Amino acid sequence: MASLDSAVAVVDLTKDFGEIRALNNLSFSIETGEIFGLIGPNGAGKTTALRVISTLLLPTSGSVKVFGLDVVQEAARVREIITYLPEEAGAYRNLSGREYLEFMARFVTKDKNRFQDMVNEAAEICGLGDRLKSKAKTYSKGMKRRLLVARALMSKPRLTVLDEPTSGLDVLHSYHVRDIIKRYVKDNGVTVLLSSHNMLEVEHMCDRVALVSKGQIVAEGKPAELKERFESPNLEEVFAKVVGFA
């Protein structure tokens, strides 16, 4: 059950798109400093949940609070303490990587020193080196994703919402991005909510996970607990058992 003192408290969240119910009384909570994963197949409602929490979509019913702030009533204040990385996010083609980071940093601070620290930190996180001077349109998918992950983390937000952070990346790039997130989060005490349909990946990153199917949470807990509870070697099999495939 979601607690109102949590970093994120989602209570009975329902979201309808016309006749289609994308989320159906979804409830969960995330503690401060935790990496929490929403996992499930495509179309389960993960992205919709992340978009509601990130103030992009309005809930049909239910409530969502981020550090006590209501995402509907206090959306502007929520946006000040979160960052959101959409699944298929892009960078501005004609801006260089550094210009993109500077553009984003200007929304966060007016202080020159903090601004510079933020951009330098992002440069270090993404590890793009001199390529930061090149226009984003010349980047590979992996480079772009690293830039965007760095953007999401550089301001040390209280909550960062990452939708499929390693989407479309090859093994090495995925490894690098996962490593960045884990390291940065632990070092800076940032709370992370991420989604993935790659359950094996999430298993190694998240402190706790919620399995989502058809807009509902079907199981929730620490990866090790879930595997033990469902007597499965990995989360993929846990999910299959929960939804009745195995």
Partner 1 sequence: MLRGFGNFLLKELKELIRDPKILLGTIIVPLIMFPVLGAVMSFSVQSAQETAGKTVIIVLNHDNGAASSEFITYINSSLRVVEAHVATIADAVPLLAENNATEIVEIPADFTRNVTARIGVQVKFGSVYAGSGLFEGIGSSVVDALVEQFNRNIAPDVVVPEKSAIVKGEIVEGVDPRMLSSLMISQAIAMPITMMILLSYSMQIAATSVAMEKEEKTLETVLTLPMDRFAILMGKLSGSIIVAGFGAVAYMVGFNYYLGSFAAMIPAGANIDLVSLGLVPSPFGYLLLGTSLFVALLSALALAVIISSFAEDVRSAQSMVGYIYPFIYLPSLALMYLDINALPLAVRIIIYAIPFSHPIIASKAITMGDYWTAILGIVYVATFTVVIMYIASRLFATERILTAKLKFKGLRRGKKNATEELQ
Binding site for partner 1 (CB under 8 A): 17-18, 20, 22, 43-45, 47-48, 51, 54-58, 76, 79-80, 82-86, 88-93, 104, 107-108, 148, 151
Q: Closest CB to partner 1 among 182 and 214?
A: 214
Residue number with CB closer to partner 1 (154 or 226)? 154
Residue among 148 and 211 whose Cβ is closer to partner 1: 148
C-alpha dist (Å) from residue 175 to 39, 66, 71, 170, 202:
18, 29, 32, 8, 12
Which of 108/243 has CB closer to partner 1?
108
Question: What is the smallest separation between the CB atom of 20 and partner 1, expressed in angstroms?
Answer: 5
Q: How far is the CB of 224 from partner 1 (least distance, A)?
A: 29
Q: Give the span between the Cα atoms of 152 and 50, in whole angstroms.
A: 14
> Which stretches within the chain are classed as H helix?
46-53, 75-81, 97-108, 112-126, 141-154, 171-188, 199-205, 223-229, 235-242
Please report how close the Cβ of residue 233 comes to partner 1 at its closest, in angstroms: 29
Cβ partners under 8 Å of residue 74, min gap 6: none
**Residue 93 burial (C-beta neighbours within 10 Å; 0-12, 13-18, 19+):** exposed
Nearest residue (CB) to partner 1, 47 versus 223 = 47
For partner 1, the closer CB: 209 or 212: 212
* Dist CA 8 CA 23 (whole Å): 17
As measured in angstroms, the least distance from the Cβ of 176 to partner 1 is 21
Least separation, in Å, of the C-beta of 168 and partner 1?
12
To partner 1, the closest distance from the beta carbon of 50 in angstroms equals: 10
Q: Which residue has the tokens 């949470």?
A: 217
- Residue 90 per-residue DSSP state: -
